Structure 1
Amino acid sequence: MEILIIIVAGIMIGASVYLMLSKSLIRIIIGTGILSHGILLMLLTMGGLKRGGIPVLDDSVQQYSDPLPQAMLLTVIVITFALTAYMLVIAIRVYRELGTDNVEELKGVPREDD
């Protein structure tokens, strides 16, 4: 099961890199979101997909679950939400001011037909 999740996370990270290398700001933002989901899967898999007791000291539990991966996942989710919201606000502002979401037009790179 872990191998399957690692493969899915790799595909998601590869797709996100492809989207982030495009010229559209919206595709870059979507690629960033997919990248964060791939990283979440990788963190979850690194924590191990094993069963165990609750992470509370008790004499009846022999094997404990590690609470650190879940804490890291929650932190990544909050940071990703804030980053995505910020990038969307910036993209909307850029589109309203300049009328384009093409990154090359934002940099002032001359086109081939000019």
Structure 2
Amino acid sequence: MEALISLLIGVLTAGGVYLCLRSHTFPVVLGLTLLSYAVNLFLFMMGRLVIGQPPIISADASGYADPIPQALVLTAIVISFAMTAFIIVLALKARTEMGNDHVDGKDVS
């Protein structure tokens, strides 16, 4: 299972980097979204997800779930949503001012 998750994180990261290097703004936004998914999945896997355990250490509990990765991923989801919204607004503003959707501002035909 670890190999499958590692492969999935690698594919998401590779796809995100590839799309971030494109010259149009929409693939760049999709690439940043894929990279944020890869980071969230990585954070979850580093936190050793435990199912059915309490998130707090207590004397009568046999084990516990670490709440830090869950809090980090929740925060990362909110931040990535805000950054995606900002990048889309920035791309729309650049398109209206420059007349194209190229990242470098040049019209390559």
* TM-score (norm. length: structure 2): 0.90
Q: Which structure is larger by alpha-carbon Rg, 1 or 2?
A: 1
Task: Name the Cα RMSD after superposition.
Answer: 1.8
In 1, Cα distance between the equivalents of 2:47 and 2:67? 9
Unpaired stretches in structure 1, ≥5 consecutive residues: none
Counterparts of 1:1-114 in structure 2, within 5 Å, are: 1-51=1-51, 53-104=53-104, 106=105, 108=106
Identity %: 37
Q: Deviations over 1:58-87 (max 9, x none)?
A: 332111110000000011001101100000
In 2, Cα distance between the equivalents of 1:13 and 1:55? 29
| AA of the residue aligned to 1:25 | T
Unpaired stretches in structure 2, ≥5 consecutive residues: none
How far the C-alpha of 1:55 sits from its partner, in A, is 1.9
In 2, Cα distance between the equivalents of 1:62 and 1:19? 45
In 1, Cα distance between the equivalents of 2:72 and 2:57? 21
How far the C-alpha of 1:97 sits from its partner, in A, is 1.4
In 1, Cα distance between the equivalents of 2:68 and 2:57? 16
How far the C-alpha of 1:52 sits from its partner, in A, is 5.4
Aligned length: 109
Q: Give the conservation status (yes or no) of the 8 Å contact 1:2–1:49.
A: no
Which runs of structure 1 show a deviation greater than 6 angstroms over 4 or more consecutive aligned residues? none
* TM-score (norm. length: structure 1): 0.86
